[in-house]
Structure 1
Amino acid sequence: MKLSALKINATAVEEGAWVDNIPELGGIRLKVRGHGNAHYRRLQSRLIEATPRSQRQRGSVDSDVMDQITNKCLAQTVLLDWDGLLDDNDQPIPFSAEAALAYLSDPSLRPFRDGVAFAAAIVAQTEEEGAKDDAGNSPSA
């Protein structure tokens, strides 16, 4: 394998990119930063440090608390926007960090959370693939 094949799209990881064709989220596009972006790492560290010792054992955070931390990190540092998310009256739902956290935290909307995680995982594609995809994933004028 060529070393160049291992390169990620570092710009997309930190600034975000639109991703579509997300499994189980037909018609929804998400603008996300990649997993491991600097904002995510800083927020995750702060939230883990703020977790009471009673919810940490042997350096590990309780799984329910870790899920809450992950939801906050996804909502505040990964998910930047959405397109095509509709309410039950077929009206577009405007993006907000508060709505994002509510949807990511709702166990009945687990496919949405999984879709955000999926998009974040693929946004850091190789430089060449990322550039090709960015050209096709730009919002319409």
Structure 2
Amino acid sequence: MKDNKILHTDEGLQGNDKIEQAIVGLQQEATQEMLAHTLTVIRRRMREKGQLIIAVEPPKGDGQIQLQAVRTDDGKQWWTAFTGFEEELKGGDSVKSTFLTDIEKLFESALTVDEIEGVIINPWNRTIMLNKRLISIILGKNI
């Protein structure tokens, strides 16, 4: 049965279950060591040319497509990304347009947009909030 599921998963998403497992471990044991492990797993998937699912807003008057952002209780805006279609569907909100994007390209873009705080992976379940400092660590950059 599991093999059948893999066949129906986009190639760029195969292996993202490792990210989900690392996040679950971090949620169960919120230590610096588990955070470092989770960031390493995400970096490894990025280097394997792994992808995430991103939701986009319909174009406004300027014709530009914008990544969908969520606002947290503290008023900060975050892009959202999903490790798989099952995670995306857990939100249950309105149907949205989604695309696959390279993890590295998403993170590089996040560092350049002043209006956002970072990227939330799987905002509904198995969640990790990557602020720009954590994204820089994953990318191997100093900020």
Q: Which TM bucket (shorter chain)?
A: under 0.3
Task: For CA contacts below 8 A with separation 6 or more, give which structure has more relative contact order.
Answer: 1
- Name the structure with the higher strand share: 2
- Select the structure of larger CA radius of gyration: 1
